[in-house]
Amino acid sequence: MVLRRFLLMLCLLGLLAGNLRAQAPKYSNEFLSIGVGARALGLSNAFTALANDATAGYWNPAGLTRIQSNLQLSLMHTQYFAGIARYDYGSLAFRSGDNNHFALSYIRFGVDDIPDTSELIDPEGNINYDRIRSFSASDNAVFFSYARLFPSVENLRIGANAKIIRRTAGSFAGAWGFGLDIGLQYQWKAWHFAAVGRDITSTFNAWSYDFSEEMREVFTLTGNEIPKSSLEVTLPRVVLGAARQFYFREDFGLQASLDMVITTDGRRNVLIKGDPFSLDPSLGLEFSYKNLVFLRTGLGSYQRYTHEDESYGGGMQLNMGLGINLGERLSIDYALTDVGDQSVALYSNIFSLRFNIDRRERTEPQE
């Protein structure tokens, strides 16, 4: 009953968000859709129901209640576009008392050392390379997460995020934003179910600009409009997830997971298109041996494209991964992503680490 009411609330929020679609860009704050943690990325982001470590602060805050230590640190670094863009993530999760679980997470996606040639020509009309400066364009987000077991329903977990967003382009453009997420996880026998509402009240980024007189003159001479302060809206999305654990003999296991991302900002180039709702599914498989070695693969991010002969086709991105538990305190995960179509995407090698500190007695099997 509680889960049904939660899902109904998310659907109503999506319907109410339809009134904002006219002023909302379709891909606002998309850096928050990339994902974190090599384990989840190796499963093609089919991780909402599986989240049981510090990365749950991003995927589903309710999963923080399943961490098997009092304190856990998670770190990830990768690069995209042949090293031009850097993507960094860190999270610290901890428990306070018997049923209070917290996490602090940070994400940065940025391009550094971008040449600024807006003042290349001096006031006398001469080209002066000494006037070239460099700047960074970065997207940053901080998550404050809280989770607990639901008091009146067994095996039901609930969590929430408050996130602060800071996006910058050098010193001349910047935006501040604030958003809320809420998530549920429910376990029934070997099944795990999940529901997450991201940006449930819509997330608003307030952009402001500060241009020098020289830059304003460049805009004027090149016929470009000088940007003005504006408001960017990120509409809600709902993620529904399910996962099941299978065991083969004593040492071998398999976890299968499915996520369905429901967006509310109009027709997208995904598997199921609609207006205002579109649906993007992803599937992940994780094979384990003695809870020490893990092999992972996943399918997701369906895209439809046009061939040179103007015929249509489609495909999904194939990801793979590997995980190793080095004792009870340290885990290393690796993912190889963007291998679905090499003609339009590059290989990305992603590594992440997980440290457990002050381990407590387990209350459920490690997954």
Hey, what's the torsion of the CAs at 61, 63, 68, 72, to 10 degrees? -30
The CA distances from residue 297 to 40, 133, 284, in Å, are: 10, 43, 6
What distance in Å separates the CA atoms of residue 359 and residue 30, rounded to the nearest whole number?
35
Answer whether residue 173 shows pLDDT above 70: yes
- Tokens for 235? 């509409």
Domains in the chain: boundaries: 2-359
Question: Residue 115: its pLDDT value, please?
Answer: 76
Helix (H, G, I), strand (E, B) or coil at 169: strand
What distance in Å separates the CA atoms of residue 297 and residue 40, rounded to the nearest whole number?
10
What distance in Å separates the CA atoms of residue 159 and residue 321, rounded to the nearest whole number?
28
What distance in Å separates the CA atoms of residue 292 and residue 328, rounded to the nearest whole number?
10
Q: How confident is the model at residue 304 (pLDDT cuts 50, 70, 90)?
A: confident
Q: Are 336 and 349 in contact (CB under 8 A)?
A: yes
Q: What is the mean pLDDT of the chain?
A: 83
High-pLDDT (> 90) share of the chain, % = 47
Q: What is the mean pLDDT of residues 184-190?
A: 94
Give the least confident one: 105-119, 190-204, 311-325, 339-353: 339-353
Residue ranges in 178-259 assigned as alpha helix (H): 213-221
What distance in Å separates the CA atoms of residue 247 and residue 288, rounded to the nearest whole number?
9
Q: Is 344 left (phi over 0), alpha (psi -120 to 50) or beta?
A: alpha
Residue 86 phi, psi (nearest 5): -115, 140
Q: What is the mean pLDDT of residues 248-274?
A: 87
Question: Residue 130: its pLDDT value, please?
Answer: 67
CA 317, chain centre distance (Å): 16
- Tokens for 346? 């590059």
Pick the closest to residue 323 from 367, 364, 259, 282 (CA basis): 367
User: Which amino acid, 363?
Assistant: T
- Fold classification of 2-359 is Porin (2.40.160)
218 or 293, greater pLDDT: 293
β-strand pairing of 191-198 with 348-359: unpaired
